[in-house]
Structure 1
Amino acid sequence: MSDNLIERISTALESEYTLEGLVRQLLEMLELVTNMESTYLTRIEPDGSFQHILFSRNTRQMQIPEGLSVPWGDTLCKRALDEGKRYTSDVASVWGDSQAAKVLGITTYVSTPVTLADGSLYGTLCAASSEHRVLNERSEQVLQLFAQLIAQQIQNERLLQQLQQANVALTTASYTDELTGLPNRRAVFEELPKLFSRARDEARYVLLAFTDLDDFKQINDVYGHDAGDDFLRAVGQRLKEGVRAHEVLGRVGGDEFVVAGVGPGEFDEAQFAADAFKIRLANLLMGKYQLHSSVINYAGPSIGVIAVNPALTDHDQALREADTAMYLEKERRRDLAITTLNPPK
Structure 2
Amino acid sequence: MDKQLEQLAQFVATANTVEGLTRPLLALLQRITGLESTYLTAIDETAGVQHILIAHNAGALQLPENLTVPWLDTLCKRALESQQFVTEDVAACWGDSDAARELGLKSYISVPVMNQDGSVFGTLCGASSHNIALGTMSHLPELLQLCADLIGHQLNRENQAKIAAERAAEAELQLNRVSLFAKISELCMAGQSLSLSISQTAQYMLESGFCSQAIAFDLVNDELVAVNPEDEPWQSVVQALRAELSTETRRRTIIPLEITDGMQQQFSGFLQSGHDTLLIKVFAEYTPAALIFVQVAPSTAAQAENRALLSAISNSLSLLASRLADHNALTILNQQLEYQAQHDTLTALPNRRYLFDELARQLARANRQQLSFFILFIDLDGFKAINDTYGHETGDEFLREFANRIRLAMRSGDFAARHGGDEFVMLCQFSAGSPADLQAEHLLKRIRAATSGSFELTDVTLDYQGPSLGVVQWQPGDISDGDQLLSQADAAMYKDKQQRRKQQSGG
Q: TM-score, normalised to structure 1's length?
A: 0.81
The structural deviation recorded for 1:162 is: 0.7
Secondary structure in 1 matching 2:350: coil
Q: Equivalent residue for 1:142? A: 309
1:268-326 Cα deviation digits (max 9, x unpaired): 71111111111111111110111111111111111001222143232433211111001
Percent of counterpart pairs with the same letter? 23
Alpha-carbon distance change, 278 to 39 in structure 1, aligned in 2, over 3 angstroms: same
| Greater alpha carbon shift after TM alignment, 315-324 vs 208-217 | 315-324
The structural deviation recorded for 1:206 is: 1.4
1:1-345 superposed matches below 5 A = 2=174, 5-6=177-178, 9-10=181-182, 12-14=184-186, 16-18=190-192, 19-20=194-195, 22-23=197-198, 26-27=201-202, 30-31=205-206, 35-47=210-222, 50-54=223-227, 65-68=230-233, 70-71=235-236, 74-79=239-244, 86=256, 91=259, 94-97=260-263, 101-107=267-273, 108-114=275-281, 116=283, 119-128=286-295, 136=302, 137-265=304-432, 269-314=435-480, 315-339=482-506
The structural deviation recorded for 1:227 is: 1.1
CA distance in 2, matches of 1:9, 1:135: 16
Q: 1:305–1:322: 8 Å Cα contact kept in structure 2? A: yes
CA distance in 1, matches of 2:184, 2:290: 21
Alpha-carbon distance change, 225 to 25 in structure 1, aligned in 2, over 3 angstroms: closer
The residue type equivalent to 1:281 in the other structure is: I
The structural deviation recorded for 1:261 is: 1.3
CA distance in 2, matches of 1:243, 1:282: 12
CA distance in 1, matches of 2:244, 2:290: 13
The structural deviation recorded for 1:249 is: 0.5
Which of structures 1 and 2 has the bigger CA Rg? 2
CA distance in 2, matches of 1:140, 1:37: 15
CA distance in 1, matches of 2:247, 2:176: 35
The residue type equivalent to 1:111 in the other structure is: L
CA distance in 2, matches of 1:223, 1:188: 30
Alpha-carbon distance change, 187 to 102 in structure 1, aligned in 2, over 3 angstroms: same
The residue type equivalent to 1:189 in the other structure is: F
Alpha-carbon distance change, 77 to 219 in structure 1, aligned in 2, over 3 angstroms: closer
* Structure 2: 5+ residue stretches without partners: 1-172, 250-254
RMSD in angstroms over aligned alpha carbons? 3.2
Secondary structure in 2 matching 1:244: coil
Q: 2:280–2:310: 8 Å Cα contact kept in structure 1? A: no
Secondary structure in 1 matching 2:345: coil
* Structure 1: 5+ residue stretches without partners: 56-63, 341-345
1:194-236 Cα deviation digits (max 9, x unpaired): 2233333443321111010011111111111111111101100
Alpha-carbon distance change, 75 to 124 in structure 1, aligned in 2, over 3 angstroms: farther
1:222-260 Cα deviation digits (max 9, x unpaired): 111111111101100101111112111100010000011
CA distance in 2, matches of 1:299, 1:83: 68
| Greater alpha carbon shift after TM alignment, 221-230 vs 312-321 | 312-321
| Greater alpha carbon shift after TM alignment, 79-88 vs 166-175 | 79-88
The residue type equivalent to 2:334 in the other structure is: N
1:143-184 Cα deviation digits (max 9, x unpaired): 122122212211211111111111111111111111111111
Secondary structure in 2 matching 1:79: coil
Q: TM-score, normalised to structure 2's length?
A: 0.57
Q: 2:343–2:354: 8 Å Cα contact kept in structure 1? A: yes
| Greater alpha carbon shift after TM alignment, 218-227 vs 143-152 | 143-152
Secondary structure in 2 matching 1:264: coil
Secondary structure in 2 matching 1:37: strand
The residue type equivalent to 2:333 in the other structure is: A
Aligned residues: 324
The structural deviation recorded for 1:117 is: 6.5
Alpha-carbon distance change, 141 to 80 in structure 1, aligned in 2, over 3 angstroms: farther
The structural deviation recorded for 1:12 is: 4.2
Alpha-carbon distance change, 205 to 32 in structure 1, aligned in 2, over 3 angstroms: closer
Q: 2:282–2:321: 8 Å Cα contact kept in structure 1? A: no
Q: Which has the higher contact order (CA 8 A, sep 6+)?
A: 1
Q: Equivalent residue for 1:59? A: none
Alpha-carbon distance change, 198 to 82 in structure 1, aligned in 2, over 3 angstroms: closer
| Greater alpha carbon shift after TM alignment, 228-237 vs 136-145 | 136-145
The structural deviation recorded for 1:262 is: 1.8
The residue type equivalent to 1:53 in the other structure is: A
CA distance in 1, matches of 2:487, 2:237: 66
The residue type equivalent to 1:163 in the other structure is: L
- Runs of 4+ in structure 1 over 6 Å off: 80-85, 131-135
The structural deviation recorded for 1:105 is: 4.7
1:22-57 Cα deviation digits (max 9, x unpaired): 43564355347764332233334434xx433336xx
CA distance in 2, matches of 1:187, 1:113: 48
| Greater alpha carbon shift after TM alignment, 233-242 vs 26-35 | 26-35
Q: Equivalent residue for 2:169? A: none
